[in-house]
Structure 1
Amino acid sequence: TCTSCGAQVELGSDTHAAECPFCASPVVTDTGTQRHIKPRALLPFALDEATARRAMTDWLGRLWFAPNGLQDYARKGRQMQGIYVPYWTFDADTKSTYRGERGTTYYVTQTVIRDGKRETVQVPKIRWTPASGRVARFFDDVLILASNSLPKRFTEALEPWDLAALVPYSPEYLAGFRAEGYNLELEHGFVEARGRMDAIIARDVRFDIGGDHQQIHEIDTEVSDVTFKHILLPVWLAAYKYRGETYRFVVNGRTGRVQGERPWSAWKIAFAVLIGALVAGAIGYVVALEQGVL
């Protein structure tokens, strides 16, 4: 129910904040009413819409092959939307034992024949020795996107987030913005987080093995003290249709970091190819003159 005009506003199951269509007042329902796990914290928006738009158009301006018209259209187009995107964060203490091999490079002298001449060369070889040991790492705030509305290649490019600035969740922060509920369940989020943890543990094992090369045969990890948080992170979003194509851009609502679908200008590419061909031709002509071919 809109607190300003009393209208009943229905929001989608993944939307928890919007604008009343009758009086344009912010309408907020407690995020998580459709979910078992409610948000524990969020990062408030630090950039307003105008600043986010400037960051986006500056980013487009640095893409030499982007159409000029798209940058102008984005600058003058409709407003960007501020959206709180759902994430999981996981903490865990890990202790791992491993078994593998350490490789040490050494060289042997060999005689080879090149162009009819005998030459002595140093050929690298690897000497492998068994290696085993233990590594430990505490993981703090492993961040997992809990939405499928935005491609992960976009959201991952917005990192890092200043998670130290998280504040306790309160619906008032959502006023004037949209907010998504999570659609990646907690257990699936933890599976993804474990994958990231395992990759870092494998890197730690390689460092621990040392040497010039490493082979990992087995890692056995004990995970304990696992905790999680459901949090919301601020993103400015814009989607534009330009000459029949749709382009999406996202801006980190804290840092102004931009990511989006890279647009291409056919005539700029053709012009660059033409210039490259002319330059290559000019260089070839100069070389031919110096060699007396022409």
Structure 2
Amino acid sequence: MPRPEEHRWPCEACGADLTFAPGQQELVCGHCGHVQRIPAAPASERDRALGELDLRAALEGTLPRDATVDVRLVRCPSCGAEIEFDGVTHASACPFCATPVVVDTGTHRHIKPQALVPFKLTEREGREAMVRWLGSLWFAPNGLTEYARKGRTLTGIYVPYWTFDAATRSRYAGQRGDAYYETRTVTVMVDGKPQRRQEQVRKIRWTPVRGWVGRFFDDVLVLASTALPRRYTDALAPWDLGALQPYRPDYLSGFEAEGYTIALPEGHAIGRQVMAEVIAQDVRRDIGGDEQRIDRIDSTFEDETFKHILLPIWMAAYKYNGKSYRFVVNGQTGKVQGERPWSAWKIALAVIAGLIVAGVVAWVTQQQ
């Protein structure tokens, strides 16, 4: 995938750079307002771009050559992002953290992104979503919310992902737990006097079970970047992958795009872990009963395929009162995640208010 700086499309009217307009199928000139439509991809191109690639061939390094590309890149020493360079550039700054980086002259063979979800939210809409999210947090500093509202422009980044498909069949062994109740008599103290009463005690009857479950997994998403915290990007789900478009440089005009830093084998291992968690849920449902114990699951994976895609994320990083905060916004839905800010003053006031209320309640109780 070419470096984002290469994606500059001159305006036919004035020669200034065109920028992709989120939510539209067009490029817009910020200088003169000229609009240039992005042509719809032919059905054959769309089918090819959204088609699955054979996982085994990719892991063995036998993908067709047109599915890969030579790129010059370097890993950022600060955040770990993979930064790509054009033919003459040897030094630049990381778009994620502004750390200066220098690249050698070597090239690396990477799998091309096949498709992407274009930005649907504008920068302003992304910022508004972030400010609303900050405002909804209890004990968040008011100053940070206001700073975010008036702060610097959010950065639009296309982030790399892998998707995995697989047909699975799993044999399991475990135990089914069925609840039953026994009545027992206990002695309790009431007004200083012992009294006997009956109570129901819940117990479980365990029965050994064995069985099979099957499932077809479609487009299991795995983040292919180490530059952003996975706990944040995972929380941006769900994504509507029905909006995927064949990869075109037009959509990247005015935005950043990151190369993948989690290679396909590592991404595949993560994808299988995600599938294993779903399979375990299927096994529990198949066992039934009130409780379940799983002793063993043996799964087979067949017809495994994958895609390499890009998804849109608005990102903001702020330094407030000496502490750094980073937020990410789903560029398709507006869902937000980030560092949880806390206001020491709000927490202190809440504690004081709680102590006052507790004191009043205690005083009223004592008077009664």
Instruction: Calculate the TM-score normalised by the size of structure 2.
Output: 0.70
Letter in structure 2 aligned against 1:128: W
Alignment match of 1:36 (pick from 102, 110, 113): 110
**Contact 1:17-1:179 within 8 A present in 2 as well:** no
Q: For residue 238 of structure 1, report the CA deviation from its aligned partner.
A: 0.5
Partner in structure 1 of residue 150 of structure 2: 76
Relative contact order higher in (CA < 8 Å, ≥ 6 apart): 1
Question: Is 2:340 aligned against 1:236?
Answer: no
Matches within 5 A, 1:53-64: 53-64=127-138
Residue 126 (structure 2) aligns with: 52
- Distance (whole Å) between structure 2 residues aligned to residue 190 and residue 47 of structure 1: 30
Q: Does 1:249 align with 2:327?
A: yes
Deviation at 1:134, TM superposition (A): 1.0
Percent of residue pairs identical: 60
Task: Give how far 1:17 is off.
Answer: 8.9
Query: Residues 35 and 181 of structure 1 are in contact (CA less than 8 Å); yes or no, is this contact kept in structure 2?
Result: no
* Aligned twin of 2:231: 153
Q: Verify: 1:194 aligned to 2:272, yes or no.
A: yes
CA distance in 2, matches of 1:111, 1:264: 50
d(CA) in 1 for partners of 2:299, 2:308: 25
Alpha-carbon distance, 1:12 to partner: 5.5
Residue 262 of structure 2, aligned match among 184, 193, 196: 184
Aligned to 1:207: 285
Alignment check: 8 A CA contact 2:159 2:225 kept: yes
Q: CA RMSD in A?
A: 2.2
The superposition leaves residues 44-77 of structure 1 with CA deviations (integer Å, 9 ceiling, x where unpaired) of 0001111111111111111231222211211111
Of residues 144, 158, 164, the one that matches 1:90 is: 164
CA deviation profile, 1:145-164 (whole Å, cap 9, x unmatched): 01011111110111100011
| Distance change >3 Å, CA 101–CA 35, structure 1 → 2 | same
CA drift at 1:212: 1.3
AA aligned to 1:194 is R
Report the 3-state secondary structure (helix = DSSP H, G, I; strand = E; otherwise coil) of the residue aligned with 2:325: strand
Q: Secondary structure at the match of 1:58?
A: helix
CA drift of 1:35 comes to 4.3
CA distance in structure 2 between the aligned counterparts of 1:285 and 1:112, rounded to whole angstroms? 36
Cα 1:64/1:133, change in 2 over 3 Å: closer
Distance 1:35 1:255, change over 3 A: farther
Aligned position for 1:15: 83
Structure-2 separation of matches of 1:238 and 1:17 = 23
Aligned residues: 273
Whole-Å Cα distance in 2 between the matches of residues 123 and 90 of structure 1? 47
| Aligned counterpart for 2:348 among listed residues 270, 273, 276 | 270
| Distance (whole Å) between structure 2 residues aligned to residue 164 and residue 254 of structure 1 | 12
Q: CA deviation at 1:187?
A: 0.7
167-176 or 140-149: bigger deviation? 167-176
TM-superposed CA distance for 1:109, in Å, is 3.0
Mapped partners of 1:72, 1:214: distance in 2: 50
C-alpha deviation, 1:125, in angstroms: 2.2
* Partners of 1:17 and 1:178 within 8 A in 2: no
Q: TM-score, normalised by structure 1?
A: 0.86
Other structure's SS at 1:84 match: strand
Residue by residue over 1:138-196, the C-alpha shift from the partner in whole angstroms, topping out at 9 and shown as x without a partner, is: 00111000101111111011110001111111122111001100010101111111111
Find 2:221's aligned residue among 143, 158, 180: 143
CA contact 1:135–1:204 (8 Å) conserved in 2? yes
Question: Residue 83 of structure 2 aligns to a residue in which SS?
Answer: coil
Contact 1:17 1:176 in 2 (8 A): no
Question: Structure 2: which amino acid aligns with 1:95?
Answer: R
Kindly indicate whether residue 173 of structure 2 is the aligned counterpart of residue 99 of structure 1. yes
Question: Counterpart of 2:365?
Answer: 287
